[in-house]
Amino acid sequence: MNYLFIIDPPEKLALYKDTSALLMKECLRQKINIFYTTCDAISIDSTQNIEVECSQIL
């Protein structure tokens, strides 16, 4: 199973209180493949195809 998290830019995350970071940590513990992206890296064209630039967290 794969999960994609849409998050604030990583350099702006407050890891000690960010819910997304806690969820990603738990996914890693359960050996779930996780990826992240930001809103700026998502696009939808005129035919409603979605393109996402993302990175995997290992």
Written as six digits, the tokens of 8 are: 């604030």
Report the CATH number at residue 18: 3.40.50.20
Q: Can you give the residue range of the structural domain that contains 22?
A: 2-57
Whether the per-residue pLDDT at 18 is higher than 90: the answer is no
d(CA 50, CA 43): 6
Give the chain's domain count.
1
- Count of CB atoms within 10 A of residue 42's CB? 14
| pLDDT, mean of residues 17-40 | 94
Whether the per-residue pLDDT at 10 is higher than 90: the answer is no
